Structure 1
């Protein structure tokens, strides 16, 4: 019996690999299949707070930058849902985060090659390319698939401070909505972090504080709570042209550039900060702000739990002052770290590395394997050091998917545009 050999197998189905699946639906010469261990697609369900928006315009959907006429575009989604006129009168480029989640679910429903409840247990080399073992998480049955290439889209997992373990009283923002009712019924709540997620959770708790009895504290080790830089020329670093320039730099220069771009990559939307300040000001008119504390320059050094109460150890690092506070609940908006499958670490000796934890990745998003290889492992996680702004940005994810699809197909299916911005980054560009 002849083995079925796929051109591409996707490990993980988040927005990145889902975008590849959607674009490949119009490329019949590339046969692909995608697996994810989750029960169904759900994009950051813990942070689908009402009135929160994507930090990128709706044009950064799964397909538009590669194929604006695709039936999987966001505009076609609102058209199919009879919401196009409502969206037209909404007159905004940024869309609710909950609507983006519904859009991606809608795309998944139309792609029969996306399989959930399917955990990729191992990937090994074989003569055809790679052998992929997949376990059905419901039946525990294991099936074997063969493919010429692999694309890893396993995303990220919550990052927790050292020596801090998540439990019913210490919640990462990835689980916030599921725990929100319990949090609001506490007597005291601490939010930790300085980015958009921290601000959104703080604002949601601030709004609801009038219905409950909790005190509310916001601590961050950042020197200030900063607004995301949205200047139009500054935003041009989120372009294929800048990514190409970034890749041309040495490893050390790339690491320096990442630090310099912090103002355009991290921070809080202007509207969120205005909403927080306006609510604080209105509370202050009647002297109702005294159960609220906001303090930057403060690092969490440890959390001890005794009889359901949390003792949070802190350091005001600029004054070198140690102190502790006692709270019922802690919400950690401490970000995420790359989720790299164990089978990649098992291949460590076969790969080239830029640092002990950062593998080398070429311009086509391929892990660089030692020796000449005809079968590739493409990757969309742990790319900050190699691709900078293209590491996690949703709009540049489409550019990454174009590059991967073109390489798998062996031809330019989706041309990647050049000279797309008004700036240049070297003389004569």
Structure 2
């Protein structure tokens, strides 16, 4: 394309999909969004039969800022002719399968989404004051861009030598379809992904293991803290206040908010516990499941017989050794700077840890014209708080970006008064 768009987004996950939906609804922005996959795909390796969302059904792509949008979850239910059956279930938390289907449904109705378009390079033309986005032989131009390619599955470097058909990251489990039948299986990681894999393994989704172990460095298998006052962390008022804090204080607060953002859903923990109770205390089956909290994995080595693991017991400070035929590493995700950014990296301010310091409206600090902006979604946990990587404020963040692009409050984002006064009485924070 030779003409210049208003916005190009790279990556079509839930965050950029929300941005595309709300941009479409304005009727004021010419946008294009690119993704390397041939169709919409949201963590396909973790779409397990028994896996649920951790967010409320109305925390979708648009509803919290644009409830009349055609891209709402409610409209999806109506369009799919299942609204009355859904209401009969009285669900407030839905399955990952249904949320993924909703996202795919929305992606088929939003203009300007280009799949099978891997972005290879982004550069900036100072003379024409526009970004050039290259995909294959094509070049596209835009006044602004938004980075939304997400975080990469992360495996600690010492364990990477053991990777293979029987040892891999949790993000791949449903794609690989491993056979656990009569195998010694160890799941490493005490977050939601690890819990989902343990639950589905207990239910025989990949065959019945000879022995299943769940190892976590956390002190116990801890629930997501989703109590009402804790959820105030996931409000626009708190995010705006958090941004004003000193960096050292922000880092400290993020660490204290581990369970509100990265605990295990209570219903998942309850399902695992009931499964274990029924199996061992009702049916009196052999106890072939071992739960191992407070263990930090230190070594993982492949052997001709399988894998040898060494963990440090967090309370006794002693090493423990385990053997396995299959190891699933539910070790989370980390931010990365994609290769396509290389031409721009000398002009982008970072802190040396792949953190992209963001301005309040989610645009990066860079050495370029203020009239040309680089936005980023799911990149601001260190500036905007633990809500940044969650789906809770997806629509609000997208609307914030669009208002900034349009330089007018197209979406009403006045948060109203906060229930909690986070700031000092004389702080003068918005929402007081």
**Pairwise TM-score range, normalised by the shorter structure:** over 0.9
Could you tell me whether the CA contact under 8 Å between 1:128 and 1:146 is conserved in 2? Answer: no
Aligned partner of residue 204 in structure 2, secondary structure:
helix
Q: In the alignment, which residue of structure 2 is the partner of 1:143?
A: 138
Shift of 1:18: 0.6
Shift of 1:36: 0.6
Q: In the alignment, which residue of structure 1 is the partner of 2:185?
A: 189
Post-superposition CA distance 1:194-220 (Å, at most 9, x none): 111111111111122896242100101
Give, in whole Å, the separation in 1 of the partners of 2:77 and 2:295.
44
Shift of 1:76: 0.4
Post-superposition CA distance 1:82-101 (Å, at most 9, x none): 00001110112111110000
Match of 1:368 among 334, 357, 365: 365
Shift of 1:382: 2.7
Q: In the alignment, which residue of structure 2 is the partner of 1:311?
A: 308
Give, in whole Å, the separation in 2 of the partners of 1:101 and 1:420.
33
Shift of 1:74: 0.4
Q: Write the mapping of 1:27-38 to structure 2, written as runs, cut at 5 A.
A: 27-38=26-37
Against the structure 1 CA distance between its residues 212 and 354, is the aligned structure 2 distance closer, same or farther, given a 3 Å change threshold? closer
The alignment's TM-score, normalised by the length of structure 1, stands at 0.93
Could you tell me whether the CA contact under 8 Å between 2:119 and 2:133 is conserved in 1? Answer: yes
Shift of 1:133: 0.7
Q: In the alignment, which residue of structure 1 is the partner of 2:83?
A: 84
Post-superposition CA distance 1:302-331 (Å, at most 9, x none): 221123611122222332222322111111
Post-superposition CA distance 1:47-72 (Å, at most 9, x none): 11123211001111101112001010
Q: In the alignment, which residue of structure 2 is the partner of 1:125?
A: 124
Q: In the alignment, which residue of structure 1 is the partner of 2:172?
A: 175
Q: In the alignment, which residue of structure 1 is the partner of 2:203?
A: 207
Give, in whole Å, the separation in 1 of the partners of 2:347 and 2:93.
43
Q: How big is the alpha-carbon RMSD for the aligned residues of Structure 1 and Structure 2? A: 1.9
State whether structure 2 residue 158 is matched by structure 1 residue 163.
yes
State whether structure 2 residue 102 is matched by structure 1 residue 106.
no
Aligned partner of residue 327 in structure 2, secondary structure:
strand
Q: Which 10-residue stretch deviates more, 294-303 or 311-320?
A: 311-320
- Gapped regions of structure 2 (runs ≥ 5): 426-431
Give, in whole Å, the separation in 1 of the partners of 2:132 and 2:337.
18
Match of 2:269 among 269, 273, 298: 273
Give, in whole Å, the separation in 2 of the partners of 1:236 and 1:363.
19
Q: In the alignment, which residue of structure 1 is the partner of 2:251?
A: 255
Shift of 1:227: 1.1
- Gapped regions of structure 1 (runs ≥ 5): 136-141
State whether structure 2 residue 224 is matched by structure 1 residue 228.
yes
Match of 1:344 among 338, 341, 346: 341
Could you tell me whether the CA contact under 8 Å between 1:183 and 1:189 is conserved in 2? Answer: no
Aligned partner of residue 152 in structure 2, secondary structure:
strand
Could you tell me whether the CA contact under 8 Å between 2:152 and 2:335 is conserved in 1? Answer: yes
Shift of 1:170: 0.8
The alignment's TM-score, normalised by the length of structure 2, stands at 0.93
Q: In the alignment, which residue of structure 2 is the partner of 1:292?
A: 289
Give, in whole Å, the separation in 2 of the partners of 1:96 and 1:185.
26
State whether structure 2 residue 58 is matched by structure 1 residue 64.
no
Shift of 1:274: 1.4
Shift of 1:291: 1.1
Could you tell me whether the CA contact under 8 Å between 2:36 and 2:119 is conserved in 1? Answer: yes
